[in-house]
Amino acid sequence: MAIIVNLDVMMAKRKMSLNELSEKVGLTLSNLSILKTGKAKAIRFSTLDAICKALECQPADILEYREKP
């Protein structure tokens, strides 16, 4: 996939665990884990909004586009 999810990078920068983010965002650990590993097929804007608020970042800090070779 050409969309790279950098959620783990932002969580590390903010020194936030998956459990803590899960509580702040209101998502299950399994759903956040799917997103974090890049296995998610879609993300709701409301979820992206909540993650950005919790991590104090921009969507571009979490999602990155890389062209396939």
| Predicted pLDDT at 67 | 86
CATH of 3-65, one of 1.10.260.40, 3.30.450.40, 2.60.120.680, 1.10.150.110: 1.10.260.40
Q: What is the pTM of this model?
A: 0.89
pLDDT in tens, 9-61: 999 999 999 999 999 999 999 999 999 998 999 999 999 999 999 999 999 99
| Predicted pLDDT at 56 | 97
Strands 3-5 and 63-65: antiparallel
**Confidence class for position 69, pLDDT limits 50, 70, 90:** confident
What are the structure tokens assigned to 43, written together?
Answer: 């993300």
What are the structure tokens assigned to 62, written together?
Answer: 């979490």
Q: Where are the domains of the chain?
A: 3-65
| Predicted pLDDT at 1 | 60
- Listed residue (10, 13, 58) closest to 32, CA to CA: 10
